[in-house]
């Protein structure tokens, strides 16, 4: 089955710096790659997603890139703010399936 690896497990940056979180997946049939943000005591919430027919997608300060050949995708957060501090999860889903396979998460801390 699909396996999703996520790195790093923890990331600490200064406010205003950029943060990058990387994920790799194993199943070349995966075609949907969402990123979730989980704030303390809450459920994960979708922040951005990308499909396999697109190489990059941006939404204000966040962007996701996808390299299908290498089977990896990354989350980029620019001009980080303290409210970006949270746990971020990447996930992958195969075409024809509804099941999401999640990475183990990255705890991002943005220091003021």
Residues at the interface with another protein (CB under 8 A): 6, 9, 32, 34, 36, 41-46, 49, 89, 98-105
Give the 3-state secondary structure of 28-90.
CCEEEEEEEEECCCCCCEEEEEEECCCCEEEECCEEEEEECCCCEEEEEECCCCHHHCEEEEE
User: To the nearest whole angstrom, how small is the minimum distance from the Cβ of residue 80 to another protein?
Assistant: 22
With respect to another protein, which residue has the nearer C-beta, 43 or 112? Answer: 43
Q: Which is nearer to another protein, 16 or 55 (CB)?
A: 55
Question: Toward another protein, which CB reaches closer, 2 or 20?
Answer: 2
Q: Nearest approach, Cβ of 48 to another protein (angstroms)?
A: 11
Alpha-carbon 24 to chain mean position: 10
- 7: β partners: 22
Residue 95 CB, nearest distance to another protein (Å)? 10
As given in the structure block, the two tokens for residue 7 are: 């790195």
Shortest Å distance, C-beta 100 to another protein:
6
């Amino acid at each position: 089955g699909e396996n999703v690896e996520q790195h790093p497990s923890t990331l600490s940056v200064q406010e205003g710096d950029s943060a990058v979180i990387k994920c790799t997946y194993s199943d070349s049939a995966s075609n949907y790659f969402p990123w979730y943000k989980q704030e303390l005591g809450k459920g994960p919430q979708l922040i951005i997603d990308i499909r396999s027919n697109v190489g990059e997608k941006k939404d204000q300060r966040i962007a996701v890139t996808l390299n299908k050949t290498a089977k990896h995708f990354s989350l980029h957060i620019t001009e980080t703010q303290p409210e970006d501090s949270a746990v971020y999860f990447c996930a992958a889903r195969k075409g024809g399936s509804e099941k999401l396979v999640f990475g183990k998460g990255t705890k991002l801390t943005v220091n003021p």
